[in-house]
Structure 1
Amino acid sequence: MNQFSGLSPQHWQLEERKDGILILSLERKDTSVNTLCQAVLNELDGLLERMAFAPPKGLIIRSTKKAGFIAGADIAEFAEFDAKGTVLDAISNGQNIFQRIAELPCPTVALIHGHCMGGGTELSLACSARVASDDASTRIGLPEVKLGIYPGWGGSVRLPRLVGAPAAFDMMLTGRALSGKAARAIGLVDAVTAPDLMVNKAVEFIEHGVHRPFKQKATAWLSNSWLARQILPGVLTKQVARKARKAHYPAPYSLIDTWRRSGGMPVRAALKQEGYSVAKLAQGPTARNLTRIFFLMERLKSLGGKEHGISHVHVVGAGVMGGDIAAWCALRGFEVTLQDREMQYIQPALDRAETLFAKKVKDETKRTATRARLQADVAGDGAAKADLIIEAIFENLDAKQTLYATLEATMKPDALLVSNTSSIALDTLGAKLSHPARFAGLHYFNPVAMMPLVEIVRHAGMAAETERRLAAFCRSIDKLPVPVAGTPGFLVNRILAPYMQEAILAFSEGIPGRAIDKAALDFGMPMGPIELVDTVGLDVAASVGKIMAEFHGQTLPDALQVTPGKRGKKDGEGLYKWVDGKAVKPELPKDYKAPDDLQDRLVFALLNEAVSCLHQGVVADAELLDAGVIFGTGFAPFRGGPIEHIKAIGRDAALATLKSLEGKYGARFTPKAGWDAL
């Protein structure tokens, strides 16, 4: 390896085999996960430059990290590049380095074991061939669209030419990761084998070449032809438009358009077009806010660490929430006992659990083991064995406190007791407990399997160790924990209540539900508030709304009066009629025009309450508030959260709008304490 004399790489390890094949192993210094920071890339560039002058027989690129191959680019660095205005330079640098790999005068093979995301996948695409391990941990993806950009180190150029445009866009537009087997099926990797045989397979490819199926090569050529690039973009754009608006999420549209224009160009010319497009997106507000959300998610994941000391979970209350919480915990590896008064109340929860397990666990042996972890427990014997007891019965203070007294008599000394209450103050709930330090709220959101957030609800007597353990537990079940104060509504319901109330008031005034929902969707909400009320159920909305109205000194809107058999989606009729699980929204008259301030009424009711929550310390800071509202309500992610949105439009401009609404609609829009501190 004389050509490398004088180099002392910090992140790459060199090994020259007797057969002349060079193995280059990535071991990024001082981190548990490989990411492609500039130091890693620049070292690689220097090594590749030497190889170009004295090429080995073949090059194998792999990772020595147990966590996986490469997790992608160093996102923190890209945030710095954005601040400095050097994003295009960073993109071009990565493109040029990967192009060096592609132009090496020797075969190159990437060995993919564990996670391979973003820039890691793009590096592998620059190689002659790819070998993936058959391990369940191996996942290969290009998730950049979730950050408001798309693959910019050659991925959007090389992937369509390798596997064909349809399969490539399915990966890039969804950000979905593939197993090794699924990647082999589309031609992304050339072989899947056991981890200890990967080097042997790579050597075989270097010595004998890679022979790809004619069908794959034909599909790749045809789907990138001029004719295909005139037809396919229209189809793809329509598919994207059903899920994301161009004004809100421009990246998918830019990806499709750039491929349409440059898909037939030579690679270097296409890379230049890719670079310009991705750099423009990276410096836009959507990418900045989605990148911020990524860091918020990482912050939530880090709360509490990993050690929680919980292996057995006991859930009391087998209704929709309790049953689904129990099923989710069993899915994530915990022993779970589910208690209710009679088996007839538990069985529906077990049936729903079976549906969840069938969807999430494809291996029958593993599914059987998962099913076995969830046990019906009418007698409640599991409470004495549990490390965590979750109370999820109906919202009645006396009933909950009576249950707590029974549970405390049998609980283990270090077991935690939590309530999934959505509205009752924790200080009130725990007032009669013997051990309030080990009591907290653990508020899940419906549907449990889809909603990522869990609120850890504090109260005056709760121990800090209880909060830490619960945060660690949330992470172990793939949920994002946000610690909140135990005031009525906590964080998410408190902020959401005025928004939904304003929607109901507008509906009561005769504004059509479709128009109200459209105003919210135009802002970027995932579902309109009228449809949301029906989905939650008018009975549930009225129950929470009553508590929040009393808290704010207001009255509940008349439209939230519950009529038997008309509670919303679950009854087939509420504010809308429902058919086959979908809301039937009457068409608006052709000449109908919604009030100009309708969207402001909805959004500023929410923003005003968010400012109040921040001021009153419901959460520790603005970042946690934004994270909680985004992950708990789906608040337009591209806007970065309520407080970030206020910053974007300007505090003074926001206050002016709020005061205008106050003048027109009254005291509910009076700016709450906290605006001056923003």
Structure 2
Amino acid sequence: MAQFTVLGSVGLISLRNPPVNALSTHVRQAIIDNLKRALSDPKVKSVVISGHGGIFCGGADIKEFAKKLSGPPLAPMIHMIAAAHKPVVAAIEGSAFGGGLELALGCHYRLAHSKAKLGLPEVTLGLMPAAAGTQLLPRLIGVPAALNLITTGRHVTAAEALQLGIVDQVIDHNVLAEALRFSESVAGQPLDARRISTFPCPRPSDLDALFEEATRKVRQSARGAVAPLRCIEAVRAAATMPYAQGLELEGKLMATLMNSEQARALQYSFFAQRAVAKWSMPSGARWDTSQPRPVRRVAVIGLGTMGRGIAVALAQTGLPVVAVETQEKQLVQAKQAISAMLERGAKRRGAAPPPDGISYGTDIQAAADADLVIEAVFEDMALKEKVFQQLSAACKPGTLLCTNTSSLDVDHLAAQTRDPELVVGMHFFSPAHVMKLLEVVYGSRSSPQAVATVMQLGKKMGKVNVAVGNCPGFVGNRMLAPYLEQAFFLLEEGATPELVDQALEEFGFPMGVFRMSDLAGLDVGWKIRKENGLANHGLVAGQSATIRRGRRDSPLGDLLCEQGRFGEKTGRGWYQYDKPGGRVARSDPWLHSFLEGYRAQHGLVARPIDHQEVLERCLYALINEGFRILEDGIAAKPEDIDVIYVFGYGWPRHRGGPMFYASTVGLPKVLEVLERHHQAHPDVPHLQPCDLLRRLVAGGSPPIHKWNEVTGKFHSRL
């Protein structure tokens, strides 16, 4: 787990715990044992700690978090390194994250390869760097910089780490060889000035104001997450207390986080992100073990907002991209926009823009030599049918044809081609070059190899890929429909957009329903509903609610669009804005008056609605649809749904995802609340608890990882 070798006068401790050299119980014990050997060996004058396999250390072994701690704790081990009477040098390559960086901070010197990355990401797991990280880092680089790294968990490059003072040197070549040479050069030198725990923590003159502002910003960005606030407390201790007292407080704060519901949710999310990489096709074949096809050239058809983002995401991988737009004016605008997006992305990453690997065309024939084509034209079935027919005729045999549809039938599009098994859905989220989620939709005839190829391409683009089945809306948008529906109904019953949005934002969403709708544009969905004959038609006034086809429906969004209120773009929507394109939403008296008139027209009597009802109606309807999706086999497991909602729909990560949240609330409670609201609103099918939820409750509400045992028979019929 940690190999010890004497090389001349240097003792080399090499961490060997693939894949990331995590600091498991055995690794920690091996470090201690080998350090003792090095310190007691008179031939050894200095020590180097390195990783193996191109990685220094990925941190603690997260699988051990749920177990009772065994073996030596990490912090005393780090203090033992710092107290060593021989110089200890960290040779950092690949990554030094979490406990791995804390290990390096215990060393007297730190050398990093130029491509290494460093960080303390514990906060993203609902924890803090509690192996003295909150006490050591502020003493080394100052309070403001330490606060930023510890409360965000962000990674820094070796160059930034050198600028901040985290590392002493950055090496372009073999960092281990340089560390061995360097350790020999510092052997015998005094070490008191190299022990970070002895440093006085730099104290800015405006310390109170600094922490007040940090707390304000963290409260705003964390949206209810507790760990970042506890990190601030720990860093404040570093700035105001002796080291030993700060370390004691760090331990107490960590204890409050370790078994918290938020830490459980965030760690569940961490593992869920990895679990979605495993899934078998309805045929029983596993796409994750299928050999992907080689993809050397990719084409994008349609260069609207989504197509441009997809082209940028592909170009950033280094793949040659053919971008096709049949409208000449749109093509000129797209070229300029894509070039600017690539430059901004490179600047943000601190890198040079990628080579211009994008070629442009105005005819689908330009995609003929592509290995994979992504269609990103407007969400209109007739238009997409035509495009797929043209692609099937133009492209070489074996080309994968993918659609960026957000809800249309992938099987129907596949039927327009000569090789339906090569058709897969790729549902990107806007902006496509930024958003991490990719819903990979397999149709009834999609081959495992085609799905594997798309998943591999998504991974190359840096996406979190989730394979889902084919149905209207797939997983994310199918669940979104009842969520939005309930928000509209709440307005009809007496709520305001401000009340609904405030409840959802306090829960942890970055934006509530109506603020997000204004940002996206109300006209987008209106246009689709009009084309499908569903916009403000067939409604009966004078009833307790508006009714369409025997069930309750709400035309509120369509009615606003008929008034030319499309959201931010027009300066009016559910809120009002200072100008078209403005971003500051303000309450709109016109909208409140409009709602009063609407209620009077339809015989609706406004009643008080509180935040709890908003959450129950919106979130539980969404969760209920999630259970239906599991029941139908559209998602293989609850982790798939949770990853989709965390990465694509703004579900607060510290609440794990909708299905995990249901498990923490308790399935009997979810069932009871849904039944209560369905009794009050029998004309709303989405509030009627689904059969799977009832069976899970009847079966004793098994833990979330056992739900598949109940849903298995549904998957077997696919």
TM-score by length of 1: 0.88
Aligned counterpart in structure 2 of residue 223 of structure 1, from 195, 199, 202: 202
Maintained 8 Å contact 2:297/2:320:
yes
Matched, 1:14 2:15: no
Shift of 1:206: 4.2
Matched, 1:40 2:27: yes
Matched, 1:179 2:157: yes
Identity %: 29
Tell me which residue corresponds to 2:104.
Answer: 124
Matched, 1:115 2:95: yes
Shift of 1:536: 2.1
Q: Label 1:525 to 1:544 Cα distance change in 2 as closer, same or farther (>3 A).
A: farther
Show the 5 A alignment for 1:168-567. Answer: 168-196=146-174, 198-199=178-179, 200-206=181-187, 221=200, 223-224=202-203, 230-245=208-223, 248-261=224-237, 263-301=239-277, 304=288, 307-362=292-347, 367=352, 369-370=354-355, 372-542=356-526, 554=551, 556-561=553-558, 562-563=561-562, 565-567=564-566
Counterpart Cα distance in 2 of 1:636 and 1:425: 30
Counterpart Cα distance in 2 of 1:347 and 1:211: 63
Maintained 8 Å contact 2:94/2:117:
yes
Shift of 1:271: 2.9
Q: Which amino acid aligns with 1:675?
A: L
Maintained 8 Å contact 2:342/2:354:
no
Q: Deviations over 1:134-192 (max 9, x none)?
A: 2xx31111111100001011211111111111111111111111111111111111111
Q: Which amino acid aligns with 2:33?
A: G
More displaced 10-residue stretch of structure 1: 492-501 or 402-411: 402-411
Q: Label 1:676 to 1:585 Cα distance change in 2 as closer, same or farther (>3 A).
A: same
Matched, 1:660 2:660: no
Q: Label 1:556 to 1:539 Cα distance change in 2 as closer, same or farther (>3 A).
A: farther
Q: Deviations over 1:214-264 (max 9, x none)?
A: xxx9xx746348x7665543222112111124xx31111112223334655
Q: Label 1:539 to 1:672 Cα distance change in 2 as closer, same or farther (>3 A).
A: farther
Q: Label 1:191 to 1:332 Cα distance change in 2 as closer, same or farther (>3 A).
A: same
Q: Label 1:277 to 1:673 Cα distance change in 2 as closer, same or farther (>3 A).
A: same
Counterpart Cα distance in 2 of 1:364 and 1:615: 42
Maintained 8 Å contact 2:87/2:191:
no
Shift of 1:426: 1.6
Q: Label 1:188 to 1:545 Cα distance change in 2 as closer, same or farther (>3 A).
A: farther
Maintained 8 Å contact 1:335/1:373:
yes
Maintained 8 Å contact 1:13/1:27:
no
Shift of 1:337: 0.9
Tell me which residue corresponds to 2:141.
Answer: 163
Shift of 1:270: 3.3
Q: Which amino acid aligns with 1:656?
A: E
Q: Label 1:654 to 1:229 Cα distance change in 2 as closer, same or farther (>3 A).
A: same
Q: Label 1:362 to 1:584 Cα distance change in 2 as closer, same or farther (>3 A).
A: closer
Q: Label 1:224 to 1:677 Cα distance change in 2 as closer, same or farther (>3 A).
A: farther
Tell me which residue corresponds to 1:613.
Answer: 629
Counterpart Cα distance in 2 of 1:124 and 1:548: 63
Matched, 1:62 2:34: no
Counterpart Cα distance in 2 of 1:570 and 1:387: 38
Matched, 1:677 2:678: no
Q: Which amino acid aligns with 1:673?
A: D
Q: Which amino acid aligns with 2:554?
A: P
Q: Label 1:593 to 1:235 Cα distance change in 2 as closer, same or farther (>3 A).
A: farther
Tell me which residue corresponds to 1:604.
Answer: 620
Shift of 1:126: 0.3
Aligned counterpart in structure 1 of residue 660 of structure 2, from 636, 644, 649: 644
Shift of 1:513: 1.3
3-state SS, counterpart of residue 597 of structure 1: helix
Counterpart Cα distance in 1 of 2:403 and 2:551: 27
Maintained 8 Å contact 1:390/1:417:
yes
Q: Deviations over 1:593-646 (max 9, x none)?
A: 753522222112211211111111111111212222222212122222222111
Q: Label 1:395 to 1:111 Cα distance change in 2 as closer, same or farther (>3 A).
A: same
Maintained 8 Å contact 1:497/1:545:
no
Counterpart Cα distance in 2 of 1:556 and 1:373: 48
Q: Label 1:514 to 1:151 Cα distance change in 2 as closer, same or farther (>3 A).
A: same
Shift of 1:265: 4.5
Number of residue equivalences: 646
Maintained 8 Å contact 2:342/2:353:
no
What stretches of structure 1 of length at least 5 have no aligned partner? 1-9
Q: Label 1:364 to 1:532 Cα distance change in 2 as closer, same or farther (>3 A).
A: closer
Q: Label 1:402 to 1:349 Cα distance change in 2 as closer, same or farther (>3 A).
A: same
3-state SS, counterpart of residue 295 of structure 2: coil
Counterpart Cα distance in 2 of 1:49 and 1:63: 19
More displaced 10-residue stretch of structure 1: 625-634 or 45-54: 45-54
Maintained 8 Å contact 2:10/2:47:
yes
Maintained 8 Å contact 1:140/1:179:
yes
Tell me which residue corresponds to 1:77.
Answer: 64
Counterpart Cα distance in 1 of 2:465 and 2:492: 36
Q: Which amino acid aligns with 1:270?
A: G
Shift of 1:112: 1.2
What stretches of structure 2 of length at least 5 have no aligned partner? 280-287, 536-547, 593-606, 697-718
Counterpart Cα distance in 2 of 1:420 and 1:125: 46
Counterpart Cα distance in 2 of 1:63 and 1:427: 49
More displaced 10-residue stretch of structure 1: 641-650 or 541-550: 541-550
3-state SS, counterpart of residue 34 of structure 1: coil
Counterpart Cα distance in 2 of 1:26 and 1:317: 50
Maintained 8 Å contact 1:144/1:175:
yes
Tell me which residue corresponds to 1:23.
Answer: 12
Aligned counterpart in structure 2 of residue 102 of structure 1, from 79, 82, 94: 82
Maintained 8 Å contact 1:607/1:642:
yes
Shift of 1:205: 4.2
Counterpart Cα distance in 2 of 1:302 and 1:436: 23
More displaced 10-residue stretch of structure 1: 557-566 or 181-190: 557-566
Q: Which amino acid aligns with 1:571?
A: T
Maintained 8 Å contact 2:372/2:399:
yes
Matched, 1:574 2:573: yes
More displaced 10-residue stretch of structure 1: 553-562 or 291-300: 553-562
3-state SS, counterpart of residue 353 of structure 1: helix
Q: Which amino acid aligns with 2:45?
A: K
Maintained 8 Å contact 1:72/1:118:
yes
Q: Which amino acid aligns with 1:48?
A: L
Maintained 8 Å contact 2:551/2:683:
no
Maintained 8 Å contact 2:373/2:402:
yes
Maintained 8 Å contact 1:422/1:489:
yes
3-state SS, counterpart of residue 306 of structure 2: helix
Shift of 1:296: 1.2
Counterpart Cα distance in 1 of 2:485 and 2:228: 34
Maintained 8 Å contact 1:343/1:376:
no
Maintained 8 Å contact 1:108/1:206:
no
